[in-house]
Amino acid sequence: MKLIIDEELCTACKQCMQVCIRDNIVVEDFAIETGSNCFECGHCMAICKSGAITLKSYEGKEDRIVDYNPRELPLEYDDLLQFLKQRRSMRWFKNKKIDKETFEKLFEGAYYSPSAQNEQDVEFVVLDEKLDEFMELVYDIIKVQEDEFFRIKEFGEYLRDNSTKDFHPLLWEGKQLILTFSTDKTSAVIANTRLELLAYSLGLGGFYSLFILKADEIDHDRLMEFFQDIDKDKHMYSTFIIGYPKKRFRRTIPHKDIKVNYY
Ligand SMILES: Cc1cc2nc3c(=O)[nH]c(=O)nc-3n(C[C@H](O)[C@H](O)[C@H](O)COP(=O)(O)O)c2cc1C
């Protein structure tokens, strides 16, 4: 059983029963959890007007439960759209590092992300001190594609100190990197996107790296040797270089029309 139901508080309104997608609640005089099908989505708890339901596994985490008015959205469509319009990839950073407290703020966005089967198995790595060591491993894995991608070739030259470039071909001026791991690709990407957007709202910036991502595609097992604490079933599905932006963009740019097919 996953739920604690307060029979005194329950008004038998049946809302919990209606939102449960696992048919796990019936309501007679009060709500009753009927089976062991619950996957802890918490919808019953979130919809209950009288606060009669608590997820057992989240007992003691009351600070995570915040009431809000379901009719009031904290931001307007136009504000959110303008925010999305102003998003830009950022590759030029100040020398200042992001501190742990700020990272924690970003991960709050991921904390509230949806995940496939409500697994909530998205996990992050912040690479800072071990970034160079990690990038050496990345190069060692992805160098097999050096002839296909000039960036990988440049990266090798940079590491061997015979590069003509004064910036890192993969990290540019980035000094901190967020990696996202999960068993499910979509869940990882959603979680990372949310922290990315929160980052912009805090005046941070960054960009995704296709080439670092290749390390997982080319040799997952070798890559995971670096991350002994992470379940090998999880893949690195997102790599985001982050920092304090050194440049400011002033206007939107045109994009190719987005294709939408209505069937
Ligand atoms: C999945 C993904 C991988 C990316 N890989 C790289 C990369 O390896 N290096 C890089 O400089 N930018 C990378 N980018 C950033 C894009 O090139 C960038 O979105 C594009 O230049 C358009 O600029 P904007 O993001 O400011 O609109 C990547 C973006 C995404 C979504």
For the chain, what is the radius of gyration of the CA atoms?
Answer: 23
So what's the pLDDT on residue 144?
Answer: 98
What does the pLDDT look like over 124-167, one tens digit per residue? 999 999 999 999 999 999 999 999 999 999 999 999 987 777 88
So what's the pLDDT on residue 187?
Answer: 98
Distance CA 13, CA 243 (A): 49
- Ligand 1, atom 29, lies closest to the CA of 208
Q: Which residues contact 226 (CB under 8 A, 6 or more apart)?
A: 134, 137
So what's the pLDDT on residue 35?
Answer: 87
Percent of the chain with pLDDT over 70: 100
Domain extent listing, the chain = 3-64, 77-243
pLDDT-derived band at 21, boundaries 50, 70, 90 = very high
So what's the pLDDT on residue 59?
Answer: 84
Ligand 1 centroid, distance to 91 Cα (angstroms): 10
Ligand 1 centroid, distance to 131 Cα (angstroms): 20
What does the pLDDT look like over 60-85, one tens digit per residue? 898 999 999 999 999 999 999 999 99
- Ligand 1, atom 25, lies closest to the CA of 89
DSSP line for 113-137: ---GGG----EEEEESTTHHHHHHH
Ligand 1 centroid, distance to 175 Cα (angstroms): 17
Residue 141 · residue 222 · CB < 8 Å:
yes
For domain 3-64, say whether CATH 3.30.70.1560 is its number.
no
So what's the pLDDT on residue 231?
Answer: 98
Ligand 1 centroid, distance to 12 Cα (angstroms): 51
Q: What residues are paired with 240 via a beta bridge? A: 178, 208
Is any ligand 1 atom within 6 A of the Cβ of residue 208? yes
pLDDT-derived band at 116, boundaries 50, 70, 90 = very high
What CA–CA distances, in Å, run from 85 to 42, 68, 159, 246? Answer: 33, 28, 36, 19
Average pLDDT value for residue range 231-258: 96
Average pLDDT value for residue range 168-179: 97
Q: What is the mean pLDDT of the chain?
A: 96
What does the pLDDT look like over 195-221, one tens digit per residue? 999 999 999 999 999 999 999 999 999
What does the pLDDT look like over 92-109, one tens digit per residue? 999 999 999 999 999 999
So what's the pLDDT on residue 174?
Answer: 97
In a mutational test of the pocket of ligand 1, which residue from 85, 135, 142, 208 has the highest number of ligand atoms less than 8 Å from its CB?
208
In CATH terms, are 3-64 and 77-243 the same topology?
A: no
The fold of the 77-243 domain, in CATH, is: NADH Oxidase (3.40.109)
So what's the pLDDT on residue 162?
Answer: 79
Distance CA 220, CA 227 (A): 11
Distance CA 188, CA 193 (A): 9
- Ligand 1, atom 27, lies closest to the CA of 88
Is any ligand 1 atom within 6 A of the Cβ of residue 151? no
So what's the pLDDT on residue 44?
Answer: 97
